[in-house]
Structure formats: structure tokens, C-alpha cells
A and B are shown apart, each in its own frame.
Chain A
Amino acid sequence: MANIVIFCILAVVILGSAVLCVMTKRIMRAATFLLFVLFGVAGIYFLLDYTFLGVAQIAIYAGGIMMMFIFAIQLVSKDTLQGMIEHFKGSRVAFAFLLCLIGLVTVAVVLLKNHFIDQAASMADVEVPVKKVGSALMGSGKYQYVLPFEFISVFLLACIVGGIMIARKEDKK
């Protein structure tokens, strides 16, 4: 019962912040509402007893990505702090609304009419032990993930180099 109450609170926070994030005219506020959405999603992970995932979400998304967003917003434009110079065009909003409605109905029908939902197991009420997570992340056997782990480290390195290459100032010779 307590789980359902917590889930409802989290869902209201996530959806409300997401709608405000999409509709607000000031970009700094959009970033702040995105932060609330990220915290809500981390709360969902905690509710599912994936504590490691929740901590990773807070550390990487709410800590790292949000900081980058705020720096980029401050760097890009002074006008955006006073308010975006953006007016929602009526026809585009109507088109987007229609598109989302059609997509939402399709997804809802596919998900709810499908029968794989019926095999929902009763969720074990124990946290996934970090030891199991660590050995699965670092092992090289079946159902263990050391190769993607190494790949993502190389990938992050490539992104660091690419980001510096793109954003650096051209030196005038």
C-alpha cells in the first residue's frame, strides 16, 4: 500500500515537471524542471529496489549532465536568461499534440492488449545486492558484462576527444 502511495507521488512529480519543462518559456526553468524529473526517475529506481541504478542516475544525470546543461545555457546566450525569444506557433503545437495523441493511443493499445504482462511475477522485496552487480559487471563469463564496460570506457574517451575538438576555438594563424 505504501508503495502505491509513493508511486503516485513520484508519478505526479515526474509528469507535472515534464509538462512544465516542455511548456515553460524560460530555458533555465526548463533545465530546473528537468532536474526534478531526473530525481523522480531516480525515486522510481529506488522504489524498484535498484538502489545502485538510482545512485548512478543521481550521480551521472543530476550531477553531471545537469551541470553541463547549466554551463551551456549560461555560455550560449544572455537573452535566454531573460526569457526565450520563442513563441509557440499554433499550427505546430496542434500538429505535435495530434502526433503525440496518436502515438500514445498506439502504444497504450499495444502494451495493454499484449499478454506478456500477465506473467508479471510478484516482485521480490529485497534489494539487488551490490556484490552481485559488481561480479556481473566485471566478469567475463555468460551473462556478465566486462566487454560492454570496456567499450563504454573507450566510447567516453572518444567523446571527450570529440567534444574538445568540436568546442575548441580555432587558433588564428
Chain B
Amino acid sequence: MIPVQCFFVLSALLFFIGVFGFVTRRNLIAMLISIELVLNSVDINFAVFNRILYPGQMEGFFFTLFSIGVSAAEAAVALAIIINVYRVYHSDQVNSIENMKF
């Protein structure tokens, strides 16, 4: 029997590794990869809360399932935007997009 805390520590560490990557990276695709790490850690948390703290219910299970679907859609649109940005600016760095910078 694995204690619940182990899962929480794992998912918190994964979350903050993702945040670290999001802050340090300047490449658009690398930032998107960091966001995927964050989303995965949150999905682990949902599944563990449901399975260990509230067995017999299915809310966390379905929330994780829908979250996987939403993140797939989000990645598709984000990659389309990145490809379009590359086509316009010929660069995949965040600093290249400055038109709307305040």
C-alpha cells in the first residue's frame, strides 16, 4: 500500500519542474512541452484523489479523461499558432513577437 503523500510529492515536484521550464525556456515549443508536464502532474493529482481518498466515485477519473482531451486540443491549436508565427517572423523564440508588447 503506497502512502498518499508519495503521490502528492511526486506530482508537486513534476508541477514545479514544469514551471521551472516554462520560466527559463525562450523557445515556443519548449515552453509548450513544459506546459504538458504541468498538465500531467495535475492529472495525476485528480486520479489519486479519486482513487485513494474517495474510492467508489468516478469524478476524478472523468475529470482526468476530459482533461487529457482538452490538452490534446490545446496542443493542436498552440502548435498551429507556433507554425504560423514561424512563417511570419522566421523565428521560434518568444522575443521575436513584439508587435503587441505593451
Contacts and interface: CB of A to CB of B under 8 A. Distances in A.
B33 A96 contact: no
Interface of A: 3-4, 7, 11, 14-15, 18-19, 21-22, 27, 30-31, 34, 37-38, 41, 44-45, 47-50, 53, 56-57, 60-61, 64-65, 68-69, 72-73, 75-77, 80, 84, 86, 88, 92-93, 95-97, 99-100, 103-104, 107-108, 111-112, 116-117, 119-124, 128, 132-133, 136-137, 143, 145, 148, 152, 155-156, 159-160, 162-164, 166-167, 169
Contacts of A136: 58, 62
Contacts, number: 209
A104 B55 CA distance: 27
Nearest to B23: A96
A166 B8 contact: no
Interface of B: 1-10, 12-21, 23-27, 29-30, 32-34, 36-37, 40, 43-44, 47-48, 51-55, 57-59, 61-62, 64-66, 68-77, 79-84, 86-87, 92-93
